[in-house]
Structure 1
Amino acid sequence: PNLLRRLLAEGNLTMSFVPVFTERYRRSKQEAKEVVDVTFTLLTLLLSVVTLAGVLGAGVFVRVTALGFESDPEKFALTVLLTKITFPYIFLVSLGALAMGILNSRKRFLMPAFAPVLLNIGIILGAWLLSGRFAAPAVGIAWGVLLGGVLQLLIQVPPLIREGLFPKFSFNWKHPSVRKIGRLMLPSVYGSAVYQINLLAITFMASYLPTGSVSYLWYADRVIEFPLGIFAVSLATVVLPLLSEHAVEKDFVRMKQAMRKALATVWLVNIPAAVGLAVLAKPIIAVLFFRGGFNEESTRLTAETLQFFAIGLPFVSATRITSSAFYAVQDAKKPVRAANLSVLVNIAAGFALIWPLQHRGLALGVGIGSIANFLMLIYDYRKSVGPLGLRSLLGSIFKMAFGAALMAAVLILVGHFWDWTFAPMLPRSLYLLAMIALGSGTYFLAVLLLKVEGSEVLLGAIRRRLRRR
């Protein structure tokens, strides 16, 4: 279901819809509303069929994606149940992604930016409140996924109504903009969902590893998705309308400036996020999941998996930005080529690392594949449009890395004296919050003193908050 979410929602629909919607809105709001209505109608019909097929054919889906599970009937039955519960989420999140594209195109960013976080909140609530009510804790998490999908959709309804763009059914199948979106969507399906395709590939390989390996990858990925949802996906979605405007005007100088600023912003947050997740992996996993059947050994193995996933976080984030530049000029072919390379590298790295590192090696392979994806996109952008000018960011990147290294040193030093990972829930949670506050404070103080690009925005936000108090 997570793969189909990217295929039908956040990835290709948003990337293909926004440039066309922006182009039409420049002509008239009525033309743009027609695009919204007919796209909503087609998407609703398509999603209804996909969701019904997914629920009814869950057993077949699991057999295809996790062949190794068939040897364990209990594991196979549980996976089928989880698939049936979570498949309707595709319907909810895809409509939510359409709403997100509309609102971001109209520069209404607050609710769409917060919406992806609600999925993670729903999952965490499911793990916290519902897991203990089922024999298999994962069932509670699955219901949390559905809750997150409902919240993601509902939170965007009020701003759509205020904009006068709340969709209604329209069966104008021959609308030229819809055909244009369709042509962009088909090649972008693969390119925009490469991260999920890589996860699907390693899940398939992990199904042949000892029991629990797939779960360790899944839990660790849920944590990684949190900074991706908050910063990378949200920022890429916000910057796409701006890039689309520059593309329509053929102002590639300003497009490059916007891309560099977006990359600097996402790295300002996700470089320390990657380091922080690696250093605090065990207490993070313990606070979120250590209960019931999720024991100390599960916590340790999932934390180690998270550490390897964290290596690729800055590159996965950057890929979201760079691929947006191609969709803005309505070129979906080059992201597909980069995705091909990423998948091949991920599979090759997975086979090379699965035996020495097992599921940890598979997580590392995803990061290596993401690096290949990013480098190929940069190469293709240079050939198509010209140099992006990343050398101008090297100074800031080194300063960010220094600040993150300083943060890691402080956290490791403090953690050496006080480790409450497996303490009762309250002190465990307080310990984690204190460590996050200490690490964040150390890093952002460092980048402010070093005058990293973008840090002045952070300082301004802090000053405004202090004035209110």
Structure 2
Amino acid sequence: MKVSTQNDPRKTLFSGLRVVSFCTLLSRVLGMVRDVGMAMLFGNSVVMDAFSIAFRIPNLARRLFGEGALTAAFLPAFLREKETQGIDSAWRLASAVLAVLAIVLAAGVIVTELFLWGLLQWGSSDTETVFLIKLIAIMLPYLVLICLAAQVSAILHGLNHFTLPALLPIILNIFWIAAIWLLAPQFASQSMQAIVISATIVGAGLLQFLAPLPQLYSLGFRFDKKWRFAQQQMKEMTTAMLPVIVGLSVTQLNTLADSLIAWSFSRPEWITEQTAASFFSRYPLEAGTASALYFGQRLYQFPLGMIGVALGTVLFPLLSRHAQQKNFDAFRDDLGLGLRLNFVIGIPASLGLMILAEPITRLLFQRGNFNQQDVLQTATIIRAYASAVWAYCTLLLLHRGFYALEDRMTPLKIGLGGVALNLFLNFTFIWHGGGAGLAWATAFTAMVQTIVCTWFLVLEIGGLNWNEISKTFLKSLLATILMGAACYATLFFVTDSEIEFAPQLAQVFLPITVAIGVYLTAAKLLGLQELGLLLQRKND
């Protein structure tokens, strides 16, 4: 089937995809700058381990609400209310969601803060554990603020406004970078530096919530004090959202599980390597493993945000409209297009990141307290995660296909199976693979889930155009193999250096430049028209 962009929904899709992808790229670049600063300050250390775990808790909520569960449950209900009952009824529903979200999350944070205070008073006296609890307590309010910001963004998505929501993560990164280079150096201890950065993150969250409100009000939104009259819709949404939370959060829960296991099974810094040998069964992981996982996840999530999250964000409203209108031919066409776009970008992203894992890690992070051993530890983890970039991206899109059809139980069941599989593989792989074993477990789980989700979604919608999809997959794979060979060969002609910046820069950007050139040339020769759709600017 020849792809066309002549109908308005497709124009909106590609225009929105380019906007969100560009904003996401800008945010991810700033995110890399902040991570460079974090690596320079802390390296793969116990302080960084504690910070990475403390930040994951509100960040998990951000991913669930900002890129998943609430949006997946809210958007179909909002669009249905808007089309059947009018915009005023849709505003009332939006007001109800904001009110209930604020009340429930605030109450949850207060209860959790009290629990953490109790742990500090009567719980563990271990210095590292106490520090972790303090960081969690400081960053918990960010959970409320970022989830409210995500809900405002979801309303704007429902009205086909994507730019401002896509810019919100930039606020966090700017605040974070300022804290690293301006505030943290004012304190001598790493623990105080981590506390200052944590407090700054909360301040950024407040601005992230306030920033999109003027645009929302300019579109006609006013908080409806009669939001309680939307109780029935809220009840339906809550029922819909609970399975969505588990289904969409599987990758996030798996990475959180990786970090918690890394924290629990890592050898404390005060135990020497010789002493740890007699207790190897207890400490299969080195200190700093949670930090290495954090930096590894940050790097593989760069292409994930550019491809999977961006495409899912703009495609989900379109799929929801097709489902509401019972236009399943259009649903199959656009879902198939989304899968093909994922393959065209996701497959080369996976192989490229695997090949360049060590040079990229060295270029970005090897300075300050981040040493050569940290580079090797982090690079092995990046390779494992990178092997499944294509699967992570595809999984995000498949989940949105289910939720557009308002099928929440299928991804829920598959997600629960994925969590169980990941935990089993984690405890199997860490004894031989160390920290990389945790990453390989997550990657393999994502691949299995992608295959299973595809099978069940195809059964539900009555098939896909497998002829077009398989052609795109095979062409992308062939172009990627050629790209990978050229990229790998280029590495042999570039001088390696552990300390000089210019050779480090060349060892990353020369192979990338060659790889992009080879891939684009191969794609053109093979007739990969999907790549052209992403790059073209006409008829937007």
Q: Which residue of 2 aligns with 1:178?
A: 234
Is the 2:91–2:224 Cα contact (8 Å) retained in structure 1?
Answer: no
Deviations 1:166-202 (A, max 9, x none): 6566541653222221110122221111111111222
Q: Which residue of 1 aligns with 2:219?
A: 163
Q: Which residue of 2 aligns with 1:194?
A: 250
Deviations 1:399-432 (A, max 9, x none): 2222222222222222223255633557645654
TM-score by length of 2: 0.76
Q: Which residue of 1 aligns with 2:140?
A: 87
Structure 1 residue 217, shift from structure 2 partner: 0.9
Structure 1 residue 111, shift from structure 2 partner: 2.7
Query: Would the alpha carbon gap of residues 310 and 61 (structure 1) be closer, same or farther in structure 2, given more than 3 Å must change?
Result: farther
Question: Equivalents in 2 of 1:435, 1:121: separation in Å?
Answer: 30
Query: Would the alpha carbon gap of residues 109 and 242 (structure 1) be closer, same or farther in structure 2, given more than 3 Å must change?
Result: same
Aligned pair 1:52/2:105, yes or no?
Answer: no
Is the 1:89–1:149 Cα contact (8 Å) retained in structure 2?
Answer: yes
Question: Equivalents in 2 of 1:361, 1:355: separation in Å?
Answer: 8
Query: Would the alpha carbon gap of residues 313 and 55 (structure 1) be closer, same or farther in structure 2, given more than 3 Å must change?
Result: farther
Aligned pair 1:34/2:110, yes or no?
Answer: no
Q: Which residue of 1 aligns with 2:61?
A: 4
Is the 1:15–1:324 Cα contact (8 Å) retained in structure 2?
Answer: yes
User: Which letter maps to 2:100?
Assistant: L
Deviations 1:119-167 (A, max 9, x none): 5676666666666555337557646754664565455344323322365
Structure 1 residue 116, shift from structure 2 partner: 4.8
Q: Which residue of 2 aligns with 1:423?
A: 499
Secondary structure in structure 2 of the residue aligned to 1:164: coil
Structure 1 residue 281, shift from structure 2 partner: 1.5
Q: Which residue of 2 aligns with 1:204?
A: 260
Q: 1:280 aligns with which of 337, 356, 366?
A: 356
RMSD: 3.1
Listed as ranges, the matches of 1:290-369 within 5 Å are: 290-369=366-445
The worse-fitting range, judged by mean Cα deviation, of 17-26 and 409-418 is 409-418
Query: Would the alpha carbon gap of residues 458 and 384 (structure 1) be closer, same or farther in structure 2, given more than 3 Å must change?
Result: closer
The worse-fitting range, judged by mean Cα deviation, of 162-171 and 23-32 is 162-171
- Percent of aligned positions that are identical: 28
Is the 2:77–2:237 Cα contact (8 Å) retained in structure 1?
Answer: yes
Secondary structure in structure 2 of the residue aligned to 1:226: helix
Question: Equivalents in 2 of 1:113, 1:456: separation in Å?
Answer: 23
Question: Equivalents in 2 of 1:194, 1:260: separation in Å?
Answer: 23
Aligned pair 1:455/2:531, yes or no?
Answer: yes
Q: Which residue of 1 aligns with 2:12?
A: none
Query: Would the alpha carbon gap of residues 388 and 337 (structure 1) be closer, same or farther in structure 2, given more than 3 Å must change?
Result: farther
Question: Equivalents in 2 of 1:181, 1:421: separation in Å?
Answer: 55
Is the 1:381–1:388 Cα contact (8 Å) retained in structure 2?
Answer: no
Q: 1:43 aligns with which of 71, 96, 101?
A: 101
The worse-fitting range, judged by mean Cα deviation, of 20-29 and 226-235 is 226-235
User: Which letter maps to 1:14?
Assistant: T
TM-score by length of 1: 0.87
Is the 1:9–1:95 Cα contact (8 Å) retained in structure 2?
Answer: no
Listed as ranges, the matches of 1:400-415 within 5 Å are: 400-415=476-491
Deviations 1:72-107 (A, max 9, x none): 934323322332333233223212221222122111
Q: 2:157 aligns with which of 95, 104, 108?
A: 104
Query: Would the alpha carbon gap of residues 185 and 84 (structure 1) be closer, same or farther in structure 2, given more than 3 Å must change?
Result: same
Q: Which residue of 1 aligns with 2:78?
A: 21
Question: Equivalents in 1 of 2:509, 2:370: separation in Å?
Answer: 21
Query: Would the alpha carbon gap of residues 193 and 329 (structure 1) be closer, same or farther in structure 2, given more than 3 Å must change?
Result: same
Query: Would the alpha carbon gap of residues 85 and 12 (structure 1) be closer, same or farther in structure 2, given more than 3 Å must change?
Result: same
Q: Which runs of 5+ in 2 are unaligned?
A: 1-56, 266-284
Aligned pair 1:395/2:467, yes or no?
Answer: no
Structure 1 residue 459, shift from structure 2 partner: 4.1
Deviations 1:284-323 (A, max 9, x none): 2234332332211111111110110011211111111111
Question: Equivalents in 2 of 1:255, 1:61: separation in Å?
Answer: 51
Is the 1:382–1:388 Cα contact (8 Å) retained in structure 2?
Answer: yes
Listed as ranges, the matches of 1:436-447 within 5 Å are: 436-447=512-523
Query: Would the alpha carbon gap of residues 448 and 87 (structure 1) be closer, same or farther in structure 2, given more than 3 Å must change?
Result: farther
Structure 1 residue 266, shift from structure 2 partner: 2.4
Structure 1 residue 394, shift from structure 2 partner: 1.5
Highest Rg: 1 or 2?
A: 2
Question: Equivalents in 1 of 2:207, 2:175: separation in Å?
Answer: 8
Question: Equivalents in 1 of 2:194, 2:466: separation in Å?
Answer: 43
Deviations 1:250-284 (A, max 9, x none): 11111111111111222222222222221222232
Query: Would the alpha carbon gap of residues 85 and 266 (structure 1) be closer, same or farther in structure 2, given more than 3 Å must change?
Result: farther
Question: Equivalents in 1 of 2:196, 2:479: separation in Å?
Answer: 38
Listed as ranges, the matches of 1:106-145 within 5 Å are: 106-116=159-169, 135-136=189-190, 142=198, 145=201
The worse-fitting range, judged by mean Cα deviation, of 167-176 and 104-113 is 167-176
Query: Would the alpha carbon gap of residues 29 and 404 (structure 1) be closer, same or farther in structure 2, given more than 3 Å must change?
Result: same
Question: Equivalents in 1 of 2:243, 2:530: separation in Å?
Answer: 34
Question: Equivalents in 2 of 1:378, 1:453: separation in Å?
Answer: 23
Aligned pair 1:75/2:128, yes or no?
Answer: yes
Is the 1:47–1:91 Cα contact (8 Å) retained in structure 2?
Answer: yes
The worse-fitting range, judged by mean Cα deviation, of 358-367 and 106-115 is 106-115
What is the total number of aligned residue pairs between the two structures? 457
Query: Would the alpha carbon gap of residues 223 and 335 (structure 1) be closer, same or farther in structure 2, given more than 3 Å must change?
Result: same
Question: Equivalents in 2 of 1:284, 1:47: separation in Å?
Answer: 38
Is the 2:66–2:154 Cα contact (8 Å) retained in structure 1?
Answer: no
Secondary structure in structure 2 of the residue aligned to 1:331: coil
Q: Which runs of 5+ in 1 are unaligned?
A: none
Is the 1:345–1:372 Cα contact (8 Å) retained in structure 2?
Answer: no
The worse-fitting range, judged by mean Cα deviation, of 293-302 and 157-166 is 157-166
Is the 2:487–2:511 Cα contact (8 Å) retained in structure 1?
Answer: yes
Is the 1:312–1:370 Cα contact (8 Å) retained in structure 2?
Answer: yes
Question: Equivalents in 2 of 1:131, 1:443: separation in Å?
Answer: 42
Is the 1:287–1:425 Cα contact (8 Å) retained in structure 2?
Answer: yes
